[in-house]
Amino acid sequence: MTNNGNDKIVFYTFTLGDVEDPDMYAQFEVESWLDTELGKWAQKNSEEELTMTYIWDDSNMQCRVSVWGELTEQNHTYWKLKFKP
């Protein structure tokens, strides 16, 4: 996907079980991830503030949380070479 010449990248995803306050649990997990090498790099090199989204799965009583941002073509190439498995 492209937007204004930038690529939207999902940097990190994880699943939360059925918890009373998913925002609090997600924020704790994301803050831990932001302390990693990739998290620090994503914060520094994303064109805009990183965004956290939720996809709810009521049948399994869980949600998938994704952290994403936009990268320039040059930073996208660097990310693919350095971090993408």
**What range does the domain containing 52 cover?**
2-82
Q: What is the pTM of this model?
A: 0.84
The total number of structural domains that make up the chain:
1
DSSP string, 26-70: HHHHHHHHHTSHHHHHHHHH-SS--EEEEEEETTTTEEEEEEEEE
pLDDT at 1: 43
pLDDT at 5: 67
* Residue pLDDT tens, the chain, 85 long: 445 668 899 999 999 998 888 899 999 999 999 999 999 999 999 999 999 999 998 888 899 999 999 999 999 999 999 998 7
